[in-house]
């Protein structure tokens, strides 16, 4: 787990205190509850989603509903990698980014270190652009 933690720290610009084994356990336990997670709106500052959104050939509607739910529970969402399971940029990325922009989210593709040598060097960062009162 030590190696995985350092990779995630570097990719997502996290401090050591941001990561713990429980984060990875939490992720596996809660993915099954999608598309509705049992958390309050903006309960988290950051939601990380790795090797899930584009990697499993989910239908467009499932991708959109999953990302919308992550955006509901966290003020910032990061998705990695942006490749499908054939190693190509997902065809769902463009429509997803457009949908998020129309919902007034900021979106950007950021370069991250490729620890695998498979071209997995980009993540999608999504954040709220509105100040909630």
List, for residues 26-63, the tens digit of each pLDDT value.
555 565 566 788 889 998 899 888 877 776 677 888 88
Residue 116 has pLDDT above 70, yes or no: yes
Burial of 124 (0-12, 13-18, 19+ CB in 10 A): buried
pLDDT-based confidence at 91, cuts 50/70/90?
A: confident
Q: Is pTM, for the whole model, over 0.75?
A: no
Burial 4-29 (b: 16+ CB within 10 A, else e): ebeebeebbebeeeebeeeeeeeeee
Residue with tokens 């509105």: 130
């Amino acid at each position: 787990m030590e190696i995985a933690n350092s990779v995630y720290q570097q990719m997502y610009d996290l401090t050591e205190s941001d990561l713990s084994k429980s984060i990875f356990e939490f992720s596996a336990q809660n993915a099954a509850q999608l598309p509705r997670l049992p958390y309050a709106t903006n309960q988290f500052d950051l939601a990380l989603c790795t090797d899930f959104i584009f990697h499993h050939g989910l239908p467009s509607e499932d991708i959109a509903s999953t990302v919308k739910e992550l955006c509901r529970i966290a003020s910032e969402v990061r998705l990695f990698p942006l490749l499908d399971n054939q190693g190509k940029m997902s065809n769902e990325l463009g429509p997803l980014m457009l949908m998020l922009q129309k919902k007034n989210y900021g979106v950007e593709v950021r370069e991250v270190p490729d620890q695998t040598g498979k071209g997995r060097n980009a993540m999608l960062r999504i954040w709220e652009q509105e100040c909630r009162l």
